[in-house]
Amino acid sequence: MSDKNKIIYVLVVFIVIVSFPFIYNKVKTPTDVNVKLNTPVIDNMTVKQCILPKEQMRHEHMKILNSWRDDVVRGNHREFGKIDGVMYEKSLQLTCLHCHSNKSEFCDRCHTYASVSVYCWDCHVAQKENKL
């Protein structure tokens, strides 16, 4: 059993290497994603509000967009509803991007941070940016 110490050293080194990414993520302070909300349309709003509560959009926008896509394409139910007398359509391109015209600072920053790659933009076009 003369190799006992060697084995323990190697084992410790191995565990440290394997667990490093997990520990690193726990310890480091998260950097600010710095999502920007100051587009011309949003700046001109008297009451700055989304069509749904902020928290809900933050956590469920992907589910909402997914159900919108089925509603619109398969069911042709395109109306989201009226807010303050304005009718909103269930549309990524026409509704979401109308206000959030800064795709790279709004959508991309968060998606890049979370390492999420979405394929929405393969077809849908960001309103003004058009960097294709």
Partner 1 sequence: MSIDRRQFLKAAGATGLLGLLGSPLFKVLAPGELEASPELKEGMAKSAKRWAMVVDMKAFPTEESYNKCIEACNKTHNIPQMESEKHEIKWIWAEKYENAFPDSYNGYLTESIEKMKFLVLCNNCDNPPCVRVCPTKATFKREDGLVVMDYHRCIGCRFCMAACPYGARSFNWRDPRPFIKNINPSYPTRTKGVVEKCNFCADRLYRGELPACVEASNGALIFGDLKDENSNVRKTLRSKFTITRKPDLGTFPGVYYVIGGS
| Interacting residues toward partner 1 by CB under 8 A | 69, 73-79, 93-94, 122-128, 130, 132
**Do 86 and 26 form a contact (C-beta atoms < 8 A)?**
no
Helix (H, G, I), strand (E, B) or coil at 131: coil
Closer by beta carbon to partner 1, 2 or else 76: 76
Specify whether the CB–CB gap between 37 and 110 falls below 8 A.
no
57, 65, 107, 123, 124 from 119: Cα distances, Å: 19, 12, 12, 8, 9
Give the nearest distance from C-beta 93 to partner 1 in angstroms.
Answer: 6
Nearest approach, Cβ of residue 131 and partner 1 (Å): 11
> Which of 32, 122 has the CB closer to partner 1?
122
Question: For residue 83, what is the enclosing H or E element?
Answer: strand 79-83
CB nearer to partner 1: pick between 19 and 79: 79
CB of 58 within 8 A of CB of 119? Answer: no
Q: Which is nearer to partner 1, 42 or 127 (CB)?
A: 127
